Amino acid sequence: MIFHLAVLQIQRGDKMKYYNTIPEEQETIINIHYYNKVLYLYSSRKSVIQRLIRKLGEPSKYDYINKAISGASWNIKFDNKKLITSILSRPLLIGNIK
Chain segment 78-93, per-residue pLDDT in tens: 898 888 888 777 666 6
Q: What's residue 77's pLDDT?
A: 93
Q: Is the pLDDT of residue 11 over 80?
A: no
pTM, two decimals, is 0.75
Residue 10 has pLDDT above 60, yes or no: no
Strand duo 68-77 + 61-65: pairing: antiparallel
pLDDT of residue 94: 66
Please state, in angstroms and rounded to a whole number, the distance separating the CA atoms of residues 50 and 18: 10
* Residue type at position 16: M
Q: CB within 8 A of 95, min separation 6: which ones?
A: 47, 48, 51
* Cα–Cα distance for residue pair 93/20, rounded to 1 Å: 18
What would the pLDDT profile of 14-39 be if each residue is shown by its tens digit?
578 999 888 999 999 999 899 999 99
* pLDDT above 70: percentage of residues in the chain: 77
On whether the CB atoms of residues 68 and 96 are closer than 8 A, the answer is no
